[in-house]
A and B are shown apart, each in its own frame.
Chain A
Amino acid sequence: MKHAGEKIVFTGSGIVCGAGTSVAEVWDRLEKGVSAVAPFTQFDGTNWPVKVAAEVLQDNRFLVSDRKLHKTIARTDMFGIYATESAIEDSGLPAYREGLGEAETNTFNDRTGLIIGSGGGNYRSNYDFLPLMTAAKAAPEGGLPYFGRELGNQVTPMWLLKNLPNNVLCHVGIRGQYKGTNACITNQCSSGVLAVAEAASAIWNNEADRIAAAGHDAPFEPEMVFYYHRLGLMSGEAPRPFDAERNGTVFGEGSAAVVLEREADAKARGAKVLGEFLGFGCCSEATGILDLEDDGDGVKRAIESALADAGITKEQVGLICAHGNGNEASDRTESMGIRSVFGEDIPPVTAFKWAYGHLIAASGIADLVMILEVLKRGVIPGIATLGEVDPLIAPFPISREAAAPRSDIALLICRGFGGMNVVLLVRGAS
C-alpha cells in the first residue's frame, strides 16, 4: 500500500445547505426523502423559466455571529466560514489547543493548515457599480471619466476585499490563528474535493499536522440561472440523476468542511474519528470548458488512479457516491466510466443533488460529509426523485429505496467544468 503506516482520518465535519445547517439535519432530509429544492426567494421568479433552487434561508447572523464581518464578506463566505468553523469545533481541536502552553500553542498554530475550495467570483458583487454606471451614462463629460472620478464617493472602499475569492481562508485563519500551509482552490465543481485531497497529501508530506478542508459556493443568482438555462443545463425541478426523464440540474448553495489529521494524533488526544481518507485520483479530459468526452474515459481514469493511490481493489468498494448532476450527457458518461471499471458488478450507487441541489464548488465535499454519515449508519438513502433508470444506463444499481453498502469503503466522484474528474476513496468509522 502506498501510504502504509500513516493513516489520515477525519475528526470533524460541518455543513450548511438548503437541507440543513448540521449533518444531523441534512441526514434527516435524506432519510425521509425530502428535497430542499423549492421556489426561490432571492429574486422574483414569476416570469422566469426556472423558479426553484435549494437556498440557504438562515440569516447572516445565524451563520456568522460577528456582525462587523457581514459588511466585508460576500454571501458565499458566510457559508464557508460557518461550515469550516463548525467542522473545526466538531473536531474538538479548539478545546485541545486551550490546554496547551504558549510555545506549544504557537507550534500548533503554525502546523494547522486551511485548504479552501472557493467558487471564485460572482456576478452579484459587480452590481455595486450599477448606480454609478447609470449616473455616468447621463454625465455630459462621458461615461468612464465620470465613473472614475465619482467611484470613491459611491462605492465602498472595501469592495475588493469583500469579493476576494480567498476570503474564507483569510477570515477563518485570522479568527482562529491557523497559520500553516494553505491554499484556495478555484477549480469550479472540483474545488472542494480537491481541497480534501490536497489536505490529506499535505499531511502525508508533513507540511502540516492537521488541516481543515472546505468548499463553499453561492451559485444561485440570476445571471447563473440565466446562462445555465441557456446552455440547457438547468432543470425546473429537483434533479433526477440517471433517470430516463432527467432534464438538468438545479442550484443549491452552501458549504461543507472536514478536519483531517493523522490517526495517531487523533487517538493521542482522544478525538472521535468519522472515517479515513484512503486516496484520490484527479484528471482532465482536455475537452475545454464545457465539453465532455463521450465515452466516460476521464471518469474511468480518475477511478483507476484513486484505487491505485489507495492501494485497494475495485471489489473492496462498498458504494459509489456519483456526481449525478441530472444532466443527460454528464450522467450518461459518468455511468459509462463507472461501468468500464466495475463491469456488471457495480456496488450500490447514490447521488445527493436531488436533496440539496448543485453546490458547484462545494458539491463534492458536501457529498463527502454525507457519505461519511452513510457509512457510519450503514444505510444508503434512496433517491426520492428517481422514476425509471435511463434504459441507456440500466442496469445500474441506483434506487428509490434505501440500500446497504457492501463494505465500509465509499468511492466518491466529482466532475466539473474544464473537463475535471476527481475521485476520493474513504473508509467509514468502524
Chain B
Amino acid sequence: MAMIEKRRIAVTGIGMVTPVGNTAADTWAGLLEGKSGAAPTQSFDASGFSTTFSAEVKGFDAESAVPNRKLLKYASRSHRFALAAAAEALADAGIAPTEADSHRWGLAVGAGMLSVGYEDLTVVHDYAAPDGEFNADGLIDPDFPGNPVNFCRWQSNAGQGLLTKQFGIRGYATSVHTACASGGQAIGTALKVMRRGQCDYMLAGGFDSMINPTGISGFCLLGALSTDNDNPTGASRPFDATRNGFVLGEGAGFLVLEDWDKATARGAMIYAELAGDGNSLSCYRITDSPPDGNGPIQAIEQALGDAGITAAEIDYVNAHGTSTQMNDRSECAALKAVFAGRIDEVRVSSTKSSMGHLIAAAGAVEAAVCCLAIRHSLAPMNANYENPDPDCDVNLITGAPQPMRIRAALSNSLGFGGSNSSLVFRNPEEVRS
C-alpha cells in the first residue's frame, strides 16, 4: 500500500487531578518525589473491607476549579475531576472553542464507573428492598426521594454531556469504556478522529472514581487489591517480587490535541507529538493476562507502526504496571518480545507505584505523564521497588527520577476483558529535525 502522509497531531495542553496532586504541576512534582497517594480511606468507613486504604484525591475543590454551580449539580465526583482537569488543560494550551470554530472541536473520554453510587443504592434499599428483596413498587411510593438529577448523573455519557456543555464543544463527541484501557483508548480515538479530518482540536482524556463502597466491593470480591493495610504507601510496588495487588486510585487526566500546523502557526508550546495508537484484544481470559504477552505485543507493535517509528526509537515506557502478579509478568513478556535485544536500553516505570490505579482515567493520566517526561527530559520513577522478580527484569527506573532525553515514549494500558491500548508520543524536536 502506498504510504499516506498522516496528519500530525500535537499535544499542547495538559490537566490532571490525581491522588498525588490536584493539578498537572503538583502531580508531576509528586511523581518526581516518588510520593505515594495511598492512605487509609477517608471518604467512607472502609474498616470492615479486606482493603482499608486507597489512593484518594485530597482537598479537591470543584467549585474553585469550575465555577459553574448549576452544571456541578449534575456532576458526580469523577465528573468534577474531569471538569477541573479539562479546564486546566485548556488553560494550559491557551486556546478554547469559540463561536466560530466550536464545530471543529471534539471530545473523546474514557468514562469511569458506569454504575450508581452507594448513597443512591441506599435510598433504593430503604424504599424498595428493606427486607433485602427488591420490590419495584417501592420506587412508586409517593415518598420515594429518587431524584432525576442523580439519574442524569449516572447516564453512561453524562461526563461527555457535561464537558461538551461547559466548554462549548460542538463537533465529534464520544465516550468509551474498556475498563482499565479506557483512557488510552479515548486518546487513541481522538487521534483517529483528527487524522481523518473531522476535528482540528480535541479534548481527550479519562476520569474515574470507584472509591466508594460499591466500587471498591467489586475489586475486593475479585481479590485484585493489595491488602497491605498496615503499609498503604508501600502497597503499590509494580514489578517487585512481593507485589500482591493494585491500589485503587481516582482522578482525571486530559490532553488538548491540536493540528500540528495550527499549533505551530500560533506559536504554541508543544509537549509532544501524539504519534501512534495501537489497539488489540488479548482473547485470553476475562481477568487473567496472557503469560506470553500475546495481545499486548500486537497493541505495542501497531502503535509503533502507526507512529511510523521502530522499537529502536523508544527510550521510555510508562508501563501499565498495576502491581498484580500476572499483569506485570505479562507486560514484561510483551516488552521483551517487542524490544528484544534492546530491552536493557529502554527505561521503564509504572507511575501507579505513586498514584495507584486510576482505572478508566489511568491511561489518560499516564499519557500526560509521558508528555511531561518528554518535555522535561526526566522520567519518573517506579517507586517502592525493592525485590527483583526474574520474570520482570526490565530496566526499571528506581530510587529517583532519571534525567534522560526521550526521543519517543510508549504508554501501555491493559484492561480487564483483554483490551490493550498503546500510545506513542514523540519528542517535538525529533519531529522538527
A residues in contact (CB < 8 Å) with B: 43-44, 47-49, 72, 109-110, 114, 118-123, 125-127, 129-135, 141-142, 144-152, 155-161, 163-167, 169-171, 173-174, 176-188, 190-191, 194, 198, 201-202, 204-207, 222-223, 226-227, 230-231, 282-290, 298, 301, 305, 361, 416-420
B residues in contact (CB < 8 Å) with A: 1, 44-50, 71, 74, 102-103, 107, 111, 113-116, 121-122, 124-125, 128-134, 136-137, 139-140, 146, 148, 151-152, 154-158, 160-162, 164-165, 167-179, 185, 189, 192, 195-196, 198, 213-214, 217-223, 279-287, 295, 298, 302, 415-419
Chain A nearest CB, measured from B103 CB (Å):
6
Chain B nearest CB, measured from A363 CB (Å):
14
Across the interface, A182 reaches (CB within 8 A) one of B47, B74, B223, B280, namely: B280
Additional A-B contact list (20), CB under 8 Å, known A110-B298, A133-B121: A121-B113, A126-B121, A129-B217, A131-B133, A135-B132, A160-B416, A164-B416, A173-B283, A179-B282, A181-B279, A182-B281, A187-B174, A194-B174, A205-B196, A207-B279, A284-B172, A289-B152, A301-B170, A418-B175, A419-B161
How far apart are the CA atoms of A132 and B124 in the complex, in Å?
A: 14
Contact B417 A166 (CB under 8 A): yes
How far apart are the CA atoms of A318 and B23 in the complex, in Å?
A: 52
Contact B49 A151 (CB under 8 A): yes
Residues from chain A with Cβ under 8 Å of B221 in the complex = 151-152, 155-160
Given the known A-B contacts A169-B419, A186-B177, A289-B155, are A130 and B134 also in contact in the complex, defined by CB atoms under 8 Å? Answer: yes
How far apart are the CA atoms of A190 and B155 in the complex, in Å?
A: 13
Contact A120 B171 (CB under 8 A): no
Contact A284 B169 (CB under 8 A): yes
Closest A residue to B172 using CB positions: A282
Residues from chain A with Cβ under 8 Å of B114 in the complex = 120-121, 165, 186
Residues from chain A with Cβ under 8 Å of B418 in the complex = 170, 173-174
How far apart are the CA atoms of A361 and B157 in the complex, in Å?
A: 11
Residues from chain B with Cβ under 8 Å of A152 in the complex = 50, 220-221
Contact B223 A157 (CB under 8 A): yes
Residues from chain B with Cβ under 8 Å of A190 in the complex = 157
How far apart are the CA atoms of A155 and B102 in the complex, in Å?
A: 47
Residues from chain B with Cβ under 8 Å of A132 in the complex = 132
Chain A nearest CB, measured from B275 CB (Å):
15
How far apart are the CA atoms of A123 and B102 in the complex, in Å?
A: 35
How far apart are the CA atoms of A127 and B160 in the complex, in Å?
A: 27
Contact A118 B177 (CB under 8 A): yes
How far apart are the CA atoms of A16 and B50 in the complex, in Å?
A: 41
Closest B residue to A167 using CB positions: B417
Contact A133 B48 (CB under 8 A): no
Contact A163 B116 (CB under 8 A): no
Residues from chain A with Cβ under 8 Å of B130 in the complex = 134
How far apart are the CA atoms of A86 and B102 in the complex, in Å?
A: 40
Contact A186 B176 (CB under 8 A): yes
Chain B nearest CB, measured from A67 CB (Å):
17
Which 9 residue pairs of A and B lie closest in terms of their CB atoms, listed nearest first? A148-B48, A120-B156, A160-B218, A418-B161, A145-B48, A121-B114, A148-B49, A170-B417, A131-B132
Chain A nearest CB, measured from B357 CB (Å):
14
12 example contacts (A-B, Cβ-Cβ < 8 A) are as follows A119-B156, A148-B217, A165-B177, A174-B286, A179-B282, A186-B111, A186-B156, A187-B175, A207-B302, A230-B148, A282-B174, A286-B102
Instruction: Identify the interface centre among B283, B285, B302: most chain A CB within 10 Å of its CB.
Output: B283
Chain B nearest CB, measured from A289 CB (Å):
4
How far apart are the CA atoms of A286 and B177 in the complex, in Å?
A: 21
Residues from chain A with Cβ under 8 Å of B131 in the complex = 134
Chain B nearest CB, measured from A64 CB (Å):
15
Across the interface, A226 reaches (CB within 8 A) one of B146, B152, B302, B417, namely: B146
Given the known A-B contacts A166-B179, A177-B283, A289-B74, are A416 and B157 also in contact in the complex, defined by CB atoms under 8 Å? Answer: yes
Closest B residue to A416 using CB positions: B157
How far apart are the CA atoms of A131 and B128 in the complex, in Å?
A: 12
Contact B48 A174 (CB under 8 A): no
How far apart are the CA atoms of A59 and B124 in the complex, in Å?
A: 28
Closest A residue to B154 using CB positions: A121
Across the interface, A144 reaches (CB within 8 A) one of B44, B121, B192, B295, namely: B44
Given the known A-B contacts A44-B137, A134-B129, A161-B416, are A289 and B219 also in contact in the complex, defined by CB atoms under 8 Å? Answer: no
Residues from chain B with Cβ under 8 Å of A178 in the complex = 281, 283
How far apart are the CA atoms of A417 and B154 in the complex, in Å?
A: 12
Contact A44 B136 (CB under 8 A): yes
Across the interface, B295 reaches (CB within 8 A) one of A158, A179, A205, namely: A179
Residues from chain A with Cβ under 8 Å of B151 in the complex = 223, 227, 230-231
How far apart are the CA atoms of A305 and B78 in the complex, in Å?
A: 32
Residues from chain A with Cβ under 8 Å of B115 in the complex = 121-122, 125-126, 163
Across the interface, A47 reaches (CB within 8 A) one of B140, B160, B298, namely: B140
Residues from chain A with Cβ under 8 Å of B282 in the complex = 173, 179
Contact A288 B71 (CB under 8 A): yes
Contact A127 B283 (CB under 8 A): no
How far apart are the CA atoms of A158 and B74 in the complex, in Å?
A: 31
Contact A283 B170 (CB under 8 A): yes
Closest B residue to A221 using CB positions: B136
Contact B171 A114 (CB under 8 A): no
Contact B192 A205 (CB under 8 A): yes
Contact A123 B47 (CB under 8 A): no
